[in-house]
Amino acid sequence: MADKFRLTLAQLNPVVGDLAGNIAQARAAHAAGARDNADMVALPEMFATGYQTTDLGRKPAFVSDVIARVEALAAELTDGPALGIGAPYLEGTDLYNAYWILDGGRVAAVVKKQMLPNDSVFDEHRVYTPAEPQGPVSIRGWRVGIPICEDAWHVGPTETLEESGAEMLFVPNGSPYHRAKHERRMSHMVSRVVESGLPLVYLNMIGGQDDQIFDGTSFVLNPGGALAVLMPAFDACIQTVEFAREAQGVRCTSDEKVTLPSDYALDYRAMVESVRDYFAKTGFKKALLGMSGGVDSALTATIAADALGSENVRCVMLPSEYTSPHSLEDAEACANALGCHYDYVPISGPRTAVTETLAPLFAGTEPGLTEENIQSRLRGVLLMALSNKFGEMLLTTGNKSEVAVGYATIYGDMSGGYNPLKDLYKMRVFETCRWRNANHDPAWMKGNAGEVIPVRIIDKPPSAELREDQKDEDSLPPYEVLDDILERLIEGEQSVADCVAAGHEFETVKRIENLLYIAEYKRFQSAPGTRLTTRAFWLDRRYPIANRWRSA
């Protein structure tokens, strides 16, 4: 029996539904592991299909196709290391989220997931059947316990594996990013290691899938919980680690640990990679956005430039008579600093036409919010026309604070295909701009280095500029107050009383709570956007549109 076990970890980016492409990646990873004299090459959870498939995974033709491809791959791989790959497994009428072990030209084993997550962005009970407890599998003379993703967050599955003779734990994952997720994963996995006394390998995928972004950050823990290996966040990486049987038990003898960046850096990377992958996986190559001279559009343009390259981003200023000279200057300065294409398209002509058309119907009424929203909707029409004409996806630019309280115009500035700032509160927008001006990594940022967002954009009072001397604080509390209330109501699920106890005025909290609930219909129709928290608007927070309940 061999005293060493070499495991090649393939932290890669699958594409949902690209079965041929995902299998090709698996084949290439297997070849890399063979060159490195690995005993096994491992890919993440559901790698063959991409993750998450949601209801695509319930389609019989899709399931049959992927199973046939995995079986064909097994027959092809007659030599070299064993290959572990996540894929569905059908047993009668029961469909499982499974992990296949391919070795020696055959399917050597299939491990089935037991604990199906059914919260936050997950709804696996809708697609898969929960499996019964299982023991370890034998791979090249080593007994490897394979708890799949959620299985390792619970005591039962790993306890069963340890009691039935596992020498090590290998956890294949499709674990999406949110802020501080690495610390949470590490805490749970250390618990499993301490409970079992076994080393643990945590392999996660990378890449964006709709609103979710997978960050990799795979790692290996030795008995006692000591970190032996930490792989990079968000980078595709194939790395071989080695285990040895020692007098005290099995240990990872590899020692290679990266240093993870700050939360601001990780959030920014998540937004960049989600835009990059959303475009790549939906077939778009170029982006455009309305460039207002404000902080949100400036940050969105910067993210787009870093994701796609400045030459693939069009910034469009659509001024009205309420657009300040500073905004005109700042929008152009930011676009130039980024190296993006800049267009100037005044909305005065279309606005005059709409005003004259509606004049007979609006006679006797006072101008107000309707007229403000017409400006926003005209901008949406013009931007969508450019999108259609040139095949450029329109990015929306609303931050989480505005999306939460409906401070955005449906069919106006909410128009577009993707919103990288959707889960980023306004105060973090300001800080992220400052962070990006001070930081540049050419390994994954395609945009220019330096102060690409003029400081005046960051420092000036936010305004929609839809009427004379308008400021956001005319309609909303200061953003530091608004964001704290929203984080309590949304992330904390706190009551009005809780917010008041934290020092906020009752009337302010009640108004914000009401705005949050009545804007649900807008969010229901809004573009998807990068998930950065555990209460992102879409799958994380599912509230009824018609809802009369309010906190006391």
45 is catalytic: yes
User: Under a CB-based contact definition with an 8 Å cutoff, are residues 169 and 192 in contact?
Assistant: yes
Spatial distance between the Cα atoms of 91 and 89, rounded to a whole number of angstroms: 7
Which is catalytic among the residues 112, 124, 149, 162? 149
Which is catalytic among the residues 45, 372, 392, 487? 45
149 is catalytic: yes
Encoding tokens for residue 549?
């309940």
- The verdict on whether residue 295 carries a ligand-binding annotation is yes
507 is catalytic: no
Closest by alpha carbon to 426, among 404, 402, 410, 409?
402
Work out the angle at residue 410's Cα, subtended by the Cα atoms of residues 361 and 412, and round it to the nearest 5 degrees: 80
The phi and psi torsions of 260 (rounded to 5 degrees) equal -80, 145
- The verdict on whether residue 293 carries a ligand-binding annotation is yes
Helices and strands (H and E) in the chain: how many: 16, 20
Q: Where does 113-218 show beta strands of DSSP type E?
A: 137-139, 142-145, 168-173, 200-204, 206-209, 212-215
Spatial distance between the Cα atoms of 182 and 536, rounded to a whole number of angstroms: 18
- The verdict on whether residue 292 carries a ligand-binding annotation is yes
Helix ranges (DSSP H) in 101-180: 155-163
* CA distances from residue 89 to 24, 106, 134, 456 in whole angstroms, order as listed: 20, 15, 15, 56
- The verdict on whether residue 297 carries a ligand-binding annotation is yes
User: Under a CB-based contact definition with an 8 Å cutoff, are residues 170 and 9 in contact?
Assistant: no
Which is catalytic among the residues 113, 281, 286, 426? 113
The phi and psi torsions of 388 (rounded to 5 degrees) equal -65, -45
Please identify which residue in the block is written with the tokens 């299939």. 110
Residues at the binding site for L-glutamine are 175, 181
Residues at the binding site are 175, 181, 290-297, 373, 397, 402, 522
Residues at the binding site for ATP are 290-297, 397
Q: List the catalytic residues.
A: 45, 113, 149
Residues at the binding site for deamido-NAD(+) are 373, 402, 522
